[in-house]
Structure 1
Amino acid sequence: MKKARKLQDVEKGTAKYGPTIFADLTEDEFGVRLNSKPWDLSIRPKDNAVIPQDPAPKAWDWRDHGVVTPVKNQGSCGSCWAFSTTGNVEGQWAIKKQKLVSLSEQELVDCDKVDQGCNGGLPSQAYDAIMKLGGLETEKEYGYKGYDEKCFFKKSDVAAKINGSVKISENEDDMAAWLAKNGPISIGINAFAMQFYMGGIAHPWKIFCNPKKLDHGVLIVGYGVEGSKPYWIIKNSWGESWGEKGYYLLYRGGGVCGVNTMCTSATVP
């Protein structure tokens, strides 16, 4: 509670910090839900995303356009990277094929041999794994267990395929323009303040969430402005009882918590 109070005392946004479902965990216990080591910022797709030249709409939310599945729950497994990846592919597939399908994170936890399953991974690497495997099965066919097991992937059950990946500009105006035109963005973030986040637009001091030390994979599904505060709408994978019904609103425009440093997307054929 002292940590939550400290965050609250210096909060620059409208966020409330307090007794969340994770507030009683030690840093190590909470860390199980994150990557075991910070993301390697040099591992990203080779191709640059094309940024639309038209100005972005003032606000945009892909949840209103039927391309975002309900909030999922990774449990006590550091598979956030897999949820960030599937969320992005679900969006890309739904926009391209006009069909929203919930895709399997467990397939990535079990069958992606470059990443470390419940000990963490990177969306940039997961895209390559999906292409090598031949696609993703549905959540229904390859359900989530929340622990590492052997790979049960069946190529005949593939429900979505990708043919590449792109890195997206670190400029947050460019990110918004790309997102509004192309779909939700997979990102990495420093999750320190998220342990105590209860709602509102979060804008923690840099000292509490080093933008160079990303440890959690999430999905930007939209953005907006409240009063004078622009914000991102971020889908998390800790269930609907956390944050804003499973979502995190984060100040947009200051590179807060490294939100703009590892922005990527799959491409769909």
Structure 2
Amino acid sequence: MIKLFVIYSLVLLAVSQAMHFDKDILDWSLFKLINNKEYLDETEEAIRFEIFKENKQFIAEHNKKWDRGEVSFNVALNEYADLLRHEFNEMRNGNDQNGESVEGSKFLPPLGVALPKIIDWRRLGAVTPVKNQKQCDSCWAFAATGALEGQLFRHTANLISLSEQDLLDCSVSNNGCESGLASRAFLDIKTEGGIATESSYSYEATQKRCRLDNVTFGATDSGFVQLAMGNETQLAIAVATVGPIAVALDSSSGSFHYYNGGIYDEPLCSDTHLNHAALVVGYGSENGLDYWLVKNSWGDKWGEKGYIRMRRNAGNQCGIATKAVYPLL
């Protein structure tokens, strides 16, 4: 009887493992199909499959906490699920952490302004659709164009999509697909006399020679303003009274890579290791948690249709207020 029970248990275990293995295979096949994934050979695919399973397990464990109400955001499989964390960080970020910084004008908060509890510049018409930097560390360019697009709208009531490719090719103070800073981009736009429209200088996700002979210039600036380092109150004032603000932040965690929805709260985030740049387009509160509304540049399939709500008033989490800037028109 005992022998029969042992055999029965082993059979159940084998069936369970086979079902689990088949589910991994099914999820992998669906992942490749949805994201048009192709690999050099069977060896590379086998490696990517193992990475995929590890990321899938990470996601499952996190979402168990979400189901139990222990965390304020959930994560999900996305097109990056076959990448190691360091691979992701090397090709989807680009904020220059080690390069030369430049000084801008000091932000002077207006006096006697009652800030709204919620602000969303998308609803007010100052934000272009979510873009995708693809396999190019050009987040700095997207943060810069987003902030300038917002200021252009506020000054002219016209929302014009501006060219990140122009900045990749022509911003001599930055490093194309390797790294850059929005602040240096603003100064280069001033020196160059303007920045092209997206429609006349489209994005190619690689640095090429500067080609401004036959483009349409969409905007220019006269410099930039930098906010007090790490001051979230000042950032809120600027977002409410000025418009979308370019920021740097730490996006190196797997929880950020696979963010799907909710208010991102990652206490282990660094406020000094700022490897990514993005655009704060608003703020608000939900279920007692304050958040920043942030436009990312990883396409509209990531996060909340390309956006992430990041924890606000929690000690400058992820360094979101450490290096905040916007252009002057």
Q: Please report the TM-score for the alignment, with normalisation by the length of structure 2.
A: 0.76
Contact 2:141 2:164 in 1 (8 A): yes
Q: Which residue of 2 aligns with 1:23?
A: 81
Correspondence for 1:148? 207
Q: State the Cα distance separating 1:41 from its structure 2 match.
A: 8.6
Deviations 1:5-32 (A, max 9, x none): 6766599751112322212211232121
Cα distance change, pair 250–90 in 1 and its aligned pair in 2 (3 A): same
Describe how 1:92-103 pairs up with structure 2 within 5 A. 92-103=151-162
**Where is the helix percentage greater, Structure 1 or Structure 2?**
2
> Mapping of 1:19-58 within 5 angstroms?
19-31=77-89, 32-35=91-94, 39-40=97-98, 43-53=101-111, 54-58=113-117
Structure 2 residue runs without a partner (length 5+): 1-54
Equivalence for 2:263: 201
Q: 1:153 deviation in Å?
A: 1.6
The correspondence for 1:122, drawn from 181, 192, 210, is 181
Q: Measure the CA separation in 2 of the matches of 1:152 and 1:89.
A: 20
C-alpha separation in 2, matches of 1:13 and 1:94 = 37
Asked whether the 8 Å contact 2:284–2:290 carries over to 1, the reply is: yes
Question: Quick one: distance in 2 between partners of 1:245 and 1:215?
Answer: 22
Moved more, 1-10 or 193-202: 1-10
Tell me which residue corresponds to 2:293: 233
Aligned positions, number:
265
Aligned-partner SS, 2:219: coil
2:252, 2:59 → 1: CA distance?
A: 11
The offset of 1:180, in angstroms, is 0.8
Once residues 135 and 13 of structure 1 are traced to their aligned partners in structure 2, the CA distance between those partners, rounded to angstroms, is: 44
Give the Cα–Cα distance (whole angstroms) in 2 for the partners of residues 15 and 263 of structure 1: 24
Q: Structure 1: which amino acid aligns with 2:87?
A: E
Residue identity in the other structure for 2:261: G
Asked if the contact 2:247–2:320 (Cα under 8 Å) also holds between the matched residues in 1, the reply is yes
Instruction: Judge which range, 46-55 or 222-231, deviates more.
Output: 46-55
Deviation at 1:52, TM superposition (A): 2.3
Larger Rg: 2
Aligned to 2:5: none
- What does the per-residue CA deviation read over 1:20-59, in whole Å, with 9 as the maximum and x for residues that have no partner? 2212211232121112x75249724331111123131111
Identity across matched positions, percent? 35
CA distance 1:154–1:168, shift in 2 (3 Å): farther
Which of 1 and 2 has higher RCO (CA within 8 Å, sep 6+)?
1
C-alpha separation in 2, matches of 1:168 and 1:99: 26
Flag the 1:155–1:188 CA change in 2: closer, same or farther, 3 A: farther
- For normalisation by structure 1, the TM-score amounts to 0.92
In 2, are the aligned partners of 1:81 and 1:218 still within 8 Å (CA)?
yes
Tell me, in whole angstroms, the C-alpha distance in 1 between the residues paired with 2:317 and 2:297. 20
Query: Cα RMSD (Å) of the superposition?
Result: 2.0
Runs of 4+ in structure 1 displaced over 3 angstroms?
A: 2-13
Q: For the Cα contact (< 8 Å) 2:187–2:222, is it kept in 1?
A: no
Is the 1:134–1:155 Cα contact (8 Å) retained in structure 2?
A: no
- Aligned amino acid, residue 16 of structure 1: N
**Unmatched tracts of structure 1, length 5 or more:** none
